[in-house]
Chains A and B, each alone.
Chain A
Amino acid sequence: MPLESCMILLDNSEFMRNGDYIPTRLEAQHDAANMLVGQATQSNPETTVGVIAMSGRGSSVAGAELLVSPTDDVGKILTALHAVPIRDTTGVDICASVQVASLALKHRRNKNGAQRVILFVGSPLGSVEPRALAKAGRQLKKNNVTIDVICMGELEGNEPKLRELVDAANGASAEGAERTCHLVTIPAGVLPSDVLLSSPIVHGGGGGGGEGGDMAAAMAASSAEGGGGGGGGFADFGGIDPNMDPELAMALRVSMEEERARQERVAAAAAASAEEGKEEEKEGMDDGETAESATAAATTTTVTENGQVEMEVSDEEALLQQALAMSMNENNDTPAEQEVATADEEGVEVTAGSMDMDEDEDEAMQMALQMSMQPDAEVEEQPPQQFQDPQFVNQLLGSMPGVDPNDPAIQNALRNLNQGEDKKDDKKSEGKDGK
């Protein structure tokens, strides 16, 4: 949840003595409020929370009492929460309490964050007209305050009225806004904090009013949804919500791009010594690896029967070439394999990135990496084959503007190319014999 100022409205009327929640409605409400305060302050250290008791002292008819104005001092908030007594009133006046909450939010210290009200209702709203609630909801919408309503007990009577309130506060169209208002209904006997943990109130998801509904199914479903929905959309940032942690998201993205750039540079370097790529396409992975092990002086490579590769890292450049070769070769291989390979070889940044991501995003990213390297691979596929023919190469170089085929540097490179080929052929046959 981003920076916000939150007002928690507690119901402390006589109806909260009811034991249909364990141990009483009041205790269950406080437990849930505790949890919400913790969630809010942990997600953003500048979030401020305030507490209002809807049945305040001073009048026989309900009058809201502000216990704590919006503050980030968690100790103060929790103390006030626990000290809320049950007052002898007939019921709660939601409209007045919501107005008091708006007033408290108007005078908040940090005007940058979003304004939010969390309303617990545990007493029957018999005397309240739905139209008054709708008007209160519209006022909230007008002042850009989001409201989340938690309905405990007295469900049949309250739920339609509270739904009016939440719909009015959502406005005619719930599209576009990042955070909209939710109504969560908690059936008797269920622990409210459990339900809330998996509800859109804590996850701050959009999609209009979320309902409690069938608790057993909803809890599992919504927790899966919440987790998946939260993480699924941000694969390109490495699985981190860029709104929640922009610096980490940027760091991950930059490191992924750096990695991609490095891969491309390695690809360009490997194109000059193109024997690996060429050989592997023709012969298959086993031979490719043995050939590479020949060219890479200090690397030892063991090749297993089913093509899995285990390596001991001693020469980083050889590793990179190997990685490249493998990636070019295994267009059909599973991403998991490549992930293992890349995770081993490429260094801390990508590994850290991989570890932070979910499985799905990991695979998606690997696919993306693969696809971005494929164009490189495709480019290299043709040159290796044709470079075998030195005459063709000379012709090619001659046709290029600005390149003199008689230039000694180019001739050297070509000679190395061809020599490498020969060396590789020898090692390849050795490798075959060795098996």
Chain B
Amino acid sequence: MSEEFRNNTKEEQPYEERNVSHEQSDGSSSLRRFIDFPRVNCLNESTHDGCKKILKPVDKQLTPEPYLSSQQDDAELLLHIPFTESVTIESISIHSHSTGQNNTFAPRIVKLFLDRENFGFETARELLPAATLELSPPREGFVSSIIDYPLSPAGRFQNVSLISLFFVSNASYNAESRTQLSFVGFNGKGTHAKREAPEWAVYEAFAHLE
């Protein structure tokens, strides 16, 4: 799969497919530099810390390795990605190279949850997601660019500190198969605002009114 070749033809697709460059036309760019990598974690992954490896830089987004895969015979994956500051997410890119060999498929339905720390599968199944995406099935053969899924309503995805991706099912419609993906990326803007408790606080017993 040659990465130098970038095919520019626009096809009729339900989702806009564009040449992913570092700067998008509307001014948003990759949010990878805001990702808090030490705190990225994933439930039901088969290799420890595989989740961090698929948050690749934009120029490596088409590489099939390394990949993130769920446990054998279990299609669900729950990926928590915290950011170092509040960001506005405009679109999300997910790419997979799996086409069904070895009972391994690309993810199909993804539920997005915002700003909720460290929850598990049961909570994920019950909660109302911020957005649900149906991913386009992977195309055979030569792939030149990946798909960006725009997020709407846009207002919901402003000032986000943590996003969780719950991969509910994969392309096989069978919960006993394995889900595998090779790239997850976010596009948007940073806001330089951190959402955290104050580090230094001075406590006064009495108010000092001037």
Interfacial residues, chain A to chain B (CB-CB below 8 A): 106, 111-112, 138, 141-144, 171-173, 175-177
Interfacial residues, chain B to chain A (CB-CB below 8 A): 41, 43-44, 46-49, 71-72, 74, 76, 117-123
Known interface pairs A106-B120, A111-B118, A143-B120; A138-B48 also in contact (CB < 8 Å)? no
A-B CB contact pairs (8 Å), 9 listed: A106-B120, A106-B122, A111-B118, A111-B119, A142-B76, A143-B43, A144-B120, A175-B48, A176-B48
| Complex alpha-carbon distance, A109 and B37, angstroms | 24
Q: Judge whether A142 and B43 touch: CB under 8 Å.
A: yes
Chain B residues, CB < 8 A from A142: 43-44, 71, 74, 76, 121
Q: Judge whether A112 and B49 touch: CB under 8 Å.
A: no
* Extra inter-chain contacts (4) besides given A171-B46, A172-B46, CB under 8 Å: A106-B123, A143-B121, A144-B120, A173-B47
| Complex alpha-carbon distance, A173 and B120, angstroms | 22
| Complex alpha-carbon distance, A111 and B119, angstroms | 8
Select which of B72, B74, B117, B123 is within 8 A of A172 by beta carbon.
B72
Q: Judge whether B118 and A176 touch: CB under 8 Å.
A: no
Chain B residues, CB < 8 A from A172: 46, 72
| Complex alpha-carbon distance, A308 and B119, angstroms | 63
| Complex alpha-carbon distance, A141 and B72, angstroms | 12
Q: Summarize B's interface: helix, strand, loop or mixed.
A: loop
Q: Which residue of chain B has the shortest Cβ distance to A143 in the bound complex? A: B120
CB distance from B197 to the nearest CB of A (A): 14
Chain A residues, CB < 8 A from B47: 173, 176
CB distance from B175 to the nearest CB of A (A): 12
Q: Judge whether A176 and B71 touch: CB under 8 Å.
A: no
| Complex alpha-carbon distance, A269 and B121, angstroms | 64
Chain B CB within 10 A, most for which of A112, A138, A142, A172: A142
In order of increasing CB-CB distance, the 7 nearest A-B pairs are A176-B48, A111-B118, A142-B44, A143-B120, A177-B48, A144-B43, A111-B117
Chain B residues, CB < 8 A from A112: 118
| Complex alpha-carbon distance, A398 and B74, angstroms | 77
Q: Which residue of chain A has the shortest Cβ distance to B122 in the bound complex? A: A106
| Complex alpha-carbon distance, A355 and B71, angstroms | 47
Q: Which residue of chain A has the shortest Cβ distance to B74 in the bound complex? A: A142
CB distance from A139 to the nearest CB of B (A): 9
Chain B residues, CB < 8 A from A173: 47
Q: Judge whether B122 and A138 touch: CB under 8 Å.
A: no
Q: Judge whether B71 and A141 touch: CB under 8 Å.
A: yes
Q: Judge whether B121 and A176 touch: CB under 8 Å.
A: no
Chain A residues, CB < 8 A from B119: 111
Select which of B43, B71, B76, B120 is within 8 A of A138 by beta carbon.
B71
CB distance from B77 to the nearest CB of A (A): 10
Q: Which residue of chain B has the shortest Cβ distance to A113 in the bound complex? A: B118
CB distance from A137 to the nearest CB of B (A): 11
